[in-house]
Structure 1
Amino acid sequence: MAGGCCNDGCGTTARTAPASPAWRRALWIALAVNFAMFLIEVVGGQMAGSVALRADALDFLGDSANYAIALLVAGMALVWRARAALAKGIVLLGFGGWVAVTAIQRAFEGTQPQAFTMGVIGLLALAANVGVALMLYRFRDGDSNMRSVWICSRNDAIGNIAVVAAAFGVFGTGSQWPDIVVAAILAGLGIWGGSQIIRHALSELALPAEKLRRA
């Protein structure tokens, strides 16, 4: 398992090397899917007036950057993979804070989002994220860099379920609050996931320098 392996200093599982063709191929597919969904959600969020969709669009953009970074450091020494994971964890924490502030601002605006547009785009995003999460599931027990990619994908799938639920909530209540509540959930997921990634990366960076260079 990842935790035990990292404690021993190996940094990755025996099943999947960080530079394996399967890992790189999965990252390229995830990168393409996430960037396409960013473009769809940023336009759809603006059209629907939904803070949850806009937050999710930025999440897709952040994940696209995360996958690009993961591709860049795949095959490098553990110290570089752990540093990349640490940077991604910090960005995810920042994303959570941004969403929280945005949700508070939206609460004072009082504008109701378009439930139908939210629902359609939310379902499309959910299908994309579930597909990516299932594809990356096999890599969840790798080093901190692999684990961070899996955590982001898992959180996105959970978040999109909440976006779809918010669309039904907005439609059923005629209120903006389901949209705001989902934005708050996304903020919590970002903070929680970022904390997990940072903790795992720091545990690897605490290993002896020789192990970090060789792993």
Structure 2
Amino acid sequence: MLNGAMFVVEAVASLFAGSISLQADALDFLGDAANYAVGLTVLGMAVRWRTRAAIGKGLVMGTFGLYVAGNTVWHALSDGVPRSDLMSGIGLLALAINVGVALLLFRHRTGDANRLSVWLCTRNDAIANVAVILAGAGVWLTGTHWPDIAVAAVIAYLGLTSAGQVLRQARLDNRAIGLSAFAE
């Protein structure tokens, strides 16, 4: 629920601030909210179902990463300096939320692809929040949009690489299922 609420807060703030990094972080919060919902739904199910859910989540993470990458390029080509005060303030609030969620999930960070995807989303959000705060300071110091663009690119990279990690782990989980079923 916290991630869903922060999606709305950051999405609205990104419009007022004119910040692509806040928008990227908002999308990451939306992905996390969906990821947690799916993760909780399949938690007690068979490995096969958890693996299928992880594949879907990995594909969504990758799609968000590609969208953010494309939108970052588009914003890099346009003019406009975002509001640094909103970027850093909302980034600080988002960081507080994500650190709390990360502390709750830390002991669940290993295991199958489903658990890995939940942990990676939370970790990525905390990293992105720190980066948004720093981007706000960079925008304020330079008077340009380049720090905002750089952070949005990092968020896109985190989304794409995390999607790859989740999909690789899901493939390993699928192999393990196939091997154990073959051995029986």
Aligned sequence identity (%): 51
Tell me the SS of whatever aligns to 2:48: helix
Q: Please, which of 78, 98, 105 is the counterpart of residue 129 of structure 1?
A: 98
**What's the TM-score, normalizing by structure 1?**
0.82
- How far apart, in 2, do the equivalents of 1:135 and 1:172 lie? 35
- How far apart, in 1, do the equivalents of 2:71 and 2:22 lie? 12
- How far apart, in 2, do the equivalents of 1:42 and 1:62 lie? 13
- Name the counterpart of 1:9: none
Point out the more displaced range, 203-212 or 151-160: 203-212
Shift, 1:141, TM fit: 1.4
Are 1:181 and 2:139 an aligned pair?
no
Point out the more displaced range, 142-151 or 158-167: 142-151
The runs of 5 or more residues in structure 2 that have no matched partner are none
Are 1:140 and 2:128 an aligned pair?
no
In structure 2, do the counterparts of structure 1 residues 51 and 208 end up closer, same or farther at CA, with 3 Å as the change threshold?
closer
Structure with the largest fraction of helix: 2
Paired AA for residue 56 in structure 2 = A
Deviations 1:55-114 (A, max 9, x none): 111111111111111111111000000111111111111111111111110011111000
Deviations 1:147-177 (A, max 9, x none): 1100110111111111000000000000000
- Name the counterpart of 1:111: 80
Shift, 1:211, TM fit: 4.0
Deviations 1:167-197 (A, max 9, x none): 0000000000000000000011001111110
The runs of 5 or more residues in structure 1 that have no matched partner are 1-31
- Name the counterpart of 2:63: 94
Shift, 1:41, TM fit: 0.3
Tell me the SS of whatever aligns to 1:206: helix
Instruction: Give matches, 1:29-178, under 5 Å.
Output: 32-178=1-147
Tell me the SS of whatever aligns to 1:111: coil
Give aligned pairs, total: 181
- Conserved in 1, the CA contact under 8 Å of 2:48 and 2:177? no
CA RMSD of superposed structures (Å): 1.2
Paired AA for residue 82 in structure 1 = T
Which portions of structure 1, spanning 4 or more consecutive aligned residues, are displaced by more than 2 angstroms?
207-212
Shift, 1:207, TM fit: 2.2
